[in-house]
Amino acid sequence: MSKTIVTLGELMMRLKPPGKLRLRQAQAFEVCHGGAEANVAVSLAEFGLASRLVTGLPEGELGAQALRFLRAHDVDTSQVIRRPGRLGLYFMEEGADFRSGCVVYDRAGSVFSELSPDDIDWNAAFDGADWFHISGITPALSDETRQLATFAMEEARRRNIHVSLDLNYRERLWEYGRSAIEVMPALASLADTLIAGRGDCTHCLGVDGEGENGSQVWAESLTEQLFRRFSQLTNASITLRNSKSAENHSWSAHLRTQAGSYFSRTYEMTAILDRVGTGDAFCAGLIYGLVDARKPSEALEFGAAANCLKHSIHGDSNAVSVSEVDALVSTTRFGQLRR
């Protein structure tokens, strides 16, 4: 399959205390790289698609290390802008049992957060692109990246490139004077595919489903409302997570297309290693299934299985192949040793 997917967003360095230590206990940190759109780009490259990330990184060793991470995963880095400045960081405290995990951001003033639309060569960025993906994290960072996200989505639509938007609401990031509810409806009106978790549509769009939050009735009601409000949509997907403890979650997803309404298998995960990036893994899996021209129900199951597998992978990005995801989709016997 010869398809090119372009994503735009910040690549950060993640610092996490080893094991399940709290940040206040940390004397050392495990380091990896990630970011919503970067995670999608890496997953899609692992699936064999041409995957390009448009971002900004600092000059110097930290920027070079981040760039090597992308290249190691075969992500096209031709549109990575290097300039003096800093790399965005985030600190991750892993939850345990009934203690929730937490994230502390240190990304203000990063190179990416100060990019403007004029910094990007849009002809090169969208060269050969079939699909453009962005998340609600990018417009949350600064007024500059709000303008960048808006321009990028408008430009992709002008070029007849399919646009997907993961709402990805992060309350702690909206600090520059605009709220998500002010910004995100206009961006949602530029998307062909809209993806959201529980609560994202309420915070970002002022839309909620009817019935018990998280139920199938609620999810179908919510996507019906999204299709009515945003008439340009071809796909709307809602992820449904029920957290029983830090390591024990049930997860499924819903997809509405112009052809029908679908629900994935529910995965019961009882030994989660790392839940960060699981939503991005779903986005990448759903995108792959749709550009691979699979039936909507099959694309949804592929995305759900990719999400499930990411819960077993350390780090932000999903180090799994198409064959591994397809194997999970087609089996009910999990975790067997492959020989």
For domain 4-326, which architecture applies? 3-Layer(aba) Sandwich (3.40)
* Share of residues in the chain with pLDDT > 70 (%): 98
Q: Who contacts 154 (Cβ-Cβ below 8 Å, separation ≥6)?
A: 190
Whole-model pTM?
Answer: 0.96
* pLDDT tens sequence across 3-25: 999 999 999 999 999 989 999 99
Calculate the alpha carbon distances from 123 to 155, 158, 305 in Å.
10, 12, 35
3-state secondary structure labels for all residues of 104-146: EEECCCECHHHCCHHHCCHHHHCCCCCEEEEECHHHHHCHHHH
pLDDT(126) > 70:
yes
Beta bridge partners of residue 86, listed in sequence order? 110
Judge whether residue 191 has pLDDT over 60: yes
At residue 337, the pLDDT reads 45
What are the structural domain ranges in the chain? 4-326
Give the mean pLDDT of the chain. 96
Phi-psi category of residue 177: left, alpha or beta, with phi > 0 → left and psi -120 to 50 → alpha? left
Mean pLDDT to the nearest integer, 237-266: 95
Identify any residues that bridge with 263 across adjacent strands, giving them in sequence order.
Answer: 254
pLDDT exceeds cutoff 50 at 65? yes
